[in-house]
Chains A and B, each alone.
Chain A
Amino acid sequence: MKELSLNILDIAENSVKAKATLTEILLDETDNRLTLTIKDNGCGMTAEILANVTDPFCTTRTTRKVGLGLPFLKLQAEQTGGNLKIASKYIDDFPQEHGTTVTATFNKNHIDYTPLGDVVSSIITLIHGHPDTDFLFLHKLCSKEISLDTRQVREILGDIPLNSFEVIKWIEEYLKEQYSEN
């Protein structure tokens, strides 16, 4: 992956596939460190799957027996001296509070750090593909915080789909504007 924002898009798809109604994408960034957290309230994983989930030969896909989403993210974190942690509560064991949290840390000053890239593009792509589930995006920088909560957007829009072109464009501008503000 050329940008970490592409990993975000890829990993968040797992949350949607796990039937999450809310997927939180949190970026906590300082001058030399980035922590990425993707937290969902989906069905979670069994202990057995959790133990093998960063193995490329463990996958939910049906078209072939290789899944590289989490292995890629793990590699990209570890090659900067960071790490990847995954915690999960499986729905059968935790009927009330289930879901998966993926946390990756990166040393931004390491030569092998993959730049974050166009994170706004990934967020709008997720919303476009999954208009019926909610996303909370929060990017904490030293000087400011950029955020979007589709639950707020949905409350205003009512039954207008979130992937309507006008809405997607509005979300894109809304996020871009927050990044460009001083």
Chain B
Amino acid sequence: MKTLAELQAIKEKMKNKVVLREGGEAIRVVVGMATCGISAGARPVLNTLVEEVNNSGLASKVTVSQTGCIGLCQYEPIVEIIEAGKEKVTYVKIDAEKAKRIVKEHLDGGKVVTEFTIANQNA
């Protein structure tokens, strides 16, 4: 049975982590979460990214965040990867399985999954 008291333990554990995190956030992952994104399936994409980034031990350098309408509603769910010094990568029509590959191959492996990028779409 989960109790609010357990949060106290999480707090103690987190205190050290917060210090570790400072300075090292190199990659931002942004998911479009407006009406268009949500109706196209952005919710499981976001939650998969959050889960996989943490399970892969990437949380110290990758943050996953939400944004509104990116303006390309027909390509939703859209995931953008923003990294200092590199060109932004825009992934389109992403689902939970594709999100897992992005975490593994791009965020962890450093290699863009070109088959999912907007540059690779015909229409």
**A residues within 8 Å of B by Cβ?**
1-2, 6, 9-10, 13, 61, 63-64, 67-69, 72, 118, 121-122, 124-125, 128-129, 152-153, 156-158, 160, 164-168, 170, 173-174, 177
Stretch at the interface among B35-43, B82-90, B97-105, B107-115: B35-43
- A-B contacts, CB under 8 A, total: 87
Residues of A within 8 A of B2 (CB): 170, 173-174, 177
Binding site for A on B (CB under 8 A): 1-2, 4, 6-8, 10-11, 13-15, 17-18, 33-36, 38-39, 43-44, 46-47, 50, 54, 59, 65-66, 68-71, 73
Known: A63-B69, A167-B10, A170-B10. 9 other contacts (CB 8 A): A6-B39, A9-B33, A121-B43, A121-B44, A125-B33, A129-B33, A152-B4, A156-B11, A160-B15
* A181 to B, closest residue via Cβ: B1
Nearest CB in chain B: distance from A151 CB, A: 11
User: Are A6 and B4 CB-contacts (below 8 A) given A128-B50, A160-B15, A165-B54?
Assistant: no
A30–chain B nearest beta-carbon distance, Å? 27
Q: Are B47 and A121 in contact (CB under 8 A)?
A: yes
Name which residue of chain A comes closest to B8, CB basis: A156
Selected contact of B46 from candidates A6, A128, A156, A173, CB within 8 Å: A128
Complex Cα distance A82/B14, Å? 45
Q: How far is the CB of A60 from chain B (nearest CB, A)?
A: 9
Q: Which residue of A lies closest to B66 (CB)?
A: A129
Q: Ordered nearest first, which 5 A-B pairs have the shortest CB separation?
A: A63-B71, A129-B66, A156-B7, A165-B54, A174-B2
Cα–Cα, bound, A51→B73 (Å)? 26
Given A153-B7, A165-B59, A170-B10; A9-B50 close (CB under 8 Å): no
Q: Is the CB of B70 within 8 A of A157?
A: no
| Pair A156/B4 contact, Cβ less than 8 Å | yes
Shortest distance in angstroms between A76's beta carbon and chain B's nearest beta carbon? 12
| Nearest B residue (CB) for A118 | B43
Whether B15 lies near A63 (C-beta < 8 A) is: no
Neighbouring B residues of A67 by C-beta, 8 Å: 35
Min CB distance A162 to B, Å, is 10
18 A-B residue pairings within 8 Å (CB atoms): A1-B38, A6-B38, A6-B43, A13-B33, A61-B34, A63-B70, A64-B73, A68-B35, A121-B43, A128-B50, A129-B65, A129-B66, A153-B7, A156-B7, A157-B11, A160-B11, A165-B54, A173-B2
